[in-house]
Structure 1
Amino acid sequence: MNSQFTKLMRILLGAILVIFGLNKFFNFIPAPELPENAADFINSLASTGYVLQVVGIVEILIGALLLLNKWVAFALIVLVPISVNILLFHLFLDIPGISGALLVTIFNGVLMYKLWPKYRPLFN
């Protein structure tokens, strides 16, 4: 995974995760207008008082690992359920906002593909 392309993907994915993870705490990116079902879902997660914060912390940690090029294979596999849920949220509740979700999911998939030899023992 030493090509310039995969390095750029890793850094971009790491930056996206750190920025959006921090946004869950500091709200420096204004929230877009969401359809009613999507807004209800996000509001229910926010009303728990912990779900969005935990996701934010995990996103920041994964993003930091990617940016620092440490434990990349581990970070990417931990990111899978998050990226799938982001994609499904936009696919079913907010289709106009799906571009960012696709980007994160595709970057995650491509980077995991590039590291496939590290994951192979999991499937033996």
Structure 2
Amino acid sequence: MKNKILFVVCLLFGLMFINSGLNKFFNYMPMPKDMPESMMKLMQAFMQITWLMPLIAIAEIVGGILVITNKYRALGAIIIFPVMVGIVLTHIINAPSGLILALVLFAINLWIIIENRAKYLPMIK
């Protein structure tokens, strides 16, 4: 039962990141109209660094695909982890309205990492 729940959570988590990464390339989801001014300035600054958004998008897409697969889930969680840290910090500082969802996704990412901790141990021994 635990494995089925983990798979469903990882599937939804991975699909959210794949969707987010694809949106950075194709811009098919509109920006919210009530976005705070500080968030607008931050997004404009990110767009000035032309290589940053494609890098984040590729990390989200690859990480999302890997999280869905059972064999490479640990690698996908590690790829998505720095992106998640940035998302949580952005919501803490600039857009607190989305903080709940960001914290839930961060908790899921940590759960995946903890569930796969045995796969990381050879790297630190």
Q: Could you tell me the TM-score, scaled by structure 2's length? A: 0.89
- Structure 1 gaps of 5+ residues are none
Q: Name the residue aligned to 1:90.
A: 91
In structure 2, the residue matched to 1:66 is: 67
Quote the residue 2:24 is aligned against: 24
Q: CA RMSD in A?
A: 1.5
Instruction: Flag as ranges the 4+ runs of structure 1 deviating above 6 A.
Output: none
Measure, in 1, the Cα distance between the counterparts of 2:83 and 2:98. Answer: 16
Instruction: Provide the rounded CA distance (Å) in 1 between the counterparts of 2:65 and 2:81.
Output: 16
Q: What residue identity is the alignment partner of 1:113?
A: I
Aligned length: 123
Q: Which deviations, in whole Å up to 9, do the C-alpha atoms of 1:56-88 show, x marking residues without a partner?
A: 111011111122334211111121111011000
Q: Work out whether 1:9 is the aligned partner of 2:9.
A: yes
Distance in 1 (CA, whole Å) between partners of 2:28 and 2:100 is 20
2:108 aligned with 1:107: yes
Shift of 1:29: 1.5
Give TM-score, length-normalised by structure 1: 0.90
Aligned to 2:41: 40
Q: Which deviations, in whole Å up to 9, do the C-alpha atoms of 1:28-56 show, x marking residues without a partner?
A: 22112321112111110012222111101
Q: Paired residue for 1:51?
A: 52
Aligned to 1:118: 119
